[in-house]
Amino acid sequence: MRVYVESFGCAQNLGEGREVARSLAERGHAIAAGPEGADAAVLVTCGVIGPTEARMVRRWSWLAERTPRVVVTGCLVPLRTDILNGPGRVRTEFVPIREQWRIPELLEGPGAIGPGEAAAPPLVEDETAATAEVVVAQGCTSACSYCYSRLARGRLESVPMLDVLARVARARDRGAAEVRLTSLDTSSWGQDLPEGARLSELLDSVAAMPGRFSVRVGMMSPQTLEPIAPRYFDALARPRFFSFLHLPVQSGSDRVLADMHRGYGAATFRRLVSMGRSRLDTLTLSTDLIVGFPTEGESEFDESLRLVEEVEPEIVNVTRFSPRPLTPAAHLPPLPPRVAKRRSRELTELRMRIARRRLERWIGRERDALPVERGIRSSTVARLSNYLPVVLPERLPLGRTVRVRIEGARSTYLLGRALGPAESALPPGGSK
């Protein structure tokens, strides 16, 4: 068969979609570049906020018009499949996240469509990127009052360490220069495993693996990072890992955090950021904030603004609160949309100013950088050892470290010029 696979949402969704495509290719099927002419389509959905969910409905309808058969998986399954209605419903099958392994068998079972006249090429790794996602766990241990993803993915189920290492090795062997360890809450990894290992021990084992690749550790929650923070930051200081911390805070107000059922206060977030920066002097901080939560007043919003001004993250992902079905927060009286929109604009303007100032400090410096993605037109996107992106104007081989000079800064990326081979034989953050 010719199968088209499309993923939306977080790095975990992207990694799961790629794994489905690889498993299909390993069974002899061709992975199509688009839905036209494909025998089936696989859609990995995201339902994190209302507008995204609406986009998933439109995308499903679009795919159902173009392919004889559609398999829907991801966060809309099984809780929100009722919203996928239309003529394509009779040709659509739904597969829960933790059963994605059976998608190839499902497509090969009764009702399978034979190969078309034109054979698509076999699956090759994405030629526009030298990255790979490695999912280390499903679900999480939190009970956030607004979060739909935890309902879709369930309670924490960590991938055993040896299996994680095997997945990393497969990514390395396929040529990934950047491996992204990902889950809903990466720092909770291992809490449910009988051997008692935690994320720091997993990183120690990944650091000891042979090969030329660097590792970015994904999103984590303050309440699960705090108990392991000293050992975690020690592990992150190893050469293989990007000096990068994605730590969502969601609000600067302890009262709102309590209403969100986040399980920590703003002081915990501040402590963890301070610890990380004291141990990793070039650490890049990425955080997430929700504006317009139903119990967020002007004073609580001001606390979020002050937190961002104080901590100065390089990256802030700003999201307007969106009530999600089946969550406790969906029953709270909403704020007027104009209020949430204004707060989103104010916080976005602040974080852009701060990020621009933080990134401008790098202008004039020379550093080694790892090209990992094709940019627009003829450019290349490379990563410094702290994961800041540097846009280089020319096409460069992906995965081969170069020396760059930083010549400009925007609010979300740096501008640079390649000077030649890297001073180190290793990628930034890499090990032999």
Whole-number percent of the chain with pLDDT over 90: 92
Do 304 and 389 share a domain, yes or no?
no
- What band does 116 get if pLDDT is binned at 50, 70 and 90? very low
Residue 70 lies in a domain: yes
Per-residue buried b or exposed e for 140-158, using 16+ beta carbons within 10 Å of the residue's own CB: bbbebbbbbbbbbbeebeb
The DSSP call for residue 25 is: H
How confident is the model over 306-321, as a mean pLDDT?
A: 98
Do 308 and 389 share a domain, yes or no?
no
Do 55 and 35 share a domain, yes or no?
yes
Residue 215 lies in a domain: yes
How confident is the model over 219-246, as a mean pLDDT?
A: 97
**pLDDT recorded at residue 163:** 98
Do 93 and 173 share a domain, yes or no?
no
Do 15 and 152 share a domain, yes or no?
no
pLDDT, tens digit, 9 for 90 and up, residues 34-50: 999 999 999 999 999 99
**pLDDT recorded at residue 313:** 98
**pLDDT recorded at residue 124:** 40
Does residue 296 surpass a pLDDT of 60?
A: yes
pLDDT, tens digit, 9 for 90 and up, residues 341-395: 999 999 999 999 999 999 999 999 999 999 999 999 999 999 999 999 999 999 9
pLDDT, tens digit, 9 for 90 and up, residues 254-269: 999 999 999 999 999 9
Whole-number percent of the chain with pLDDT over 70: 95
What pTM was estimated for this model as a whole? 0.93
Does residue 222 surpass a pLDDT of 90?
A: yes
Domain's final residue, options 75, 108, 141: 108
Does residue 114 surpass a pLDDT of 70?
A: no
How confident is the model over 278-301, as a mean pLDDT?
A: 98
Q: Which residue is it, tokens 């998933």?
A: 56
**pLDDT recorded at residue 195:** 86
Does residue 59 surpass a pLDDT of 80?
A: yes
Do 355 and 326 share a domain, yes or no?
yes
**What is the rounded distance in angstroms from the CA atom of residue 255 to the CA atom of residue 261?**
10
How confident is the model over 217-229, as a mean pLDDT?
A: 98
**What is the rounded distance in angstroms from the CA atom of residue 426 to the CA atom of residue 432?**
7
Residue 78 lies in a domain: yes
Domain's final residue, options 318, 344, 360: 360
Domain's final residue, options 77, 108, 139: 108
- What band does 427 get if pLDDT is binned at 50, 70 and 90? confident
Burial of 426 (0-12, 13-18, 19+ CB in 10 A): middle
Do 204 and 282 share a domain, yes or no?
yes
- The angle that helices 266-279 and 229-236 make with each other, rounded to 10 degrees, is 30
- What band does 162 get if pLDDT is binned at 50, 70 and 90? very high
Strands (E) across 163-248 are located at 178-182, 214-217, 244-246
The CATH number assigned to the domain holding 204 equals: 3.80.30.20
How confident is the model over 17-43, as a mean pLDDT?
A: 95
Residue 122 lies in a domain: no
Residue 118 lies in a domain: no
Domain hosting residue 343, numbered range: 131-360
Do 198 and 250 share a domain, yes or no?
yes
Do 390 and 345 share a domain, yes or no?
no
The CATH number assigned to the domain holding 405 equals: 2.40.50.140
Does residue 333 surpass a pLDDT of 60?
A: yes
**pLDDT recorded at residue 121:** 40
Do 21 and 142 share a domain, yes or no?
no
Domain count, the chain: 3
Residue 431 lies in a domain: no
pLDDT, tens digit, 9 for 90 and up, residues 93-111: 999 999 999 999 999 986 5
The CATH number assigned to the domain holding 42 equals: 3.40.50.12160
**pLDDT recorded at residue 112:** 56
Residue 430 lies in a domain: no
Mean pLDDT across the chain, nearest whole number? 94
Do 395 and 377 share a domain, yes or no?
yes
Residue 114 lies in a domain: no
Does residue 117 surpass a pLDDT of 90?
A: no
What is the 3-class SS of 314-364, one letter each residue? CEEEEEECCCCCCCHHHHCCCCCHHHHHHHHHHHHHHHHHHHHHHHHCCCC
Do 67 and 213 share a domain, yes or no?
no
Burial of 100 (0-12, 13-18, 19+ CB in 10 A): buried
- What band does 288 get if pLDDT is binned at 50, 70 and 90? very high
Q: Residue 150's beta-bridge partner residues?
A: none
The DSSP call for residue 75 is: T
Does residue 244 surpass a pLDDT of 80?
A: yes
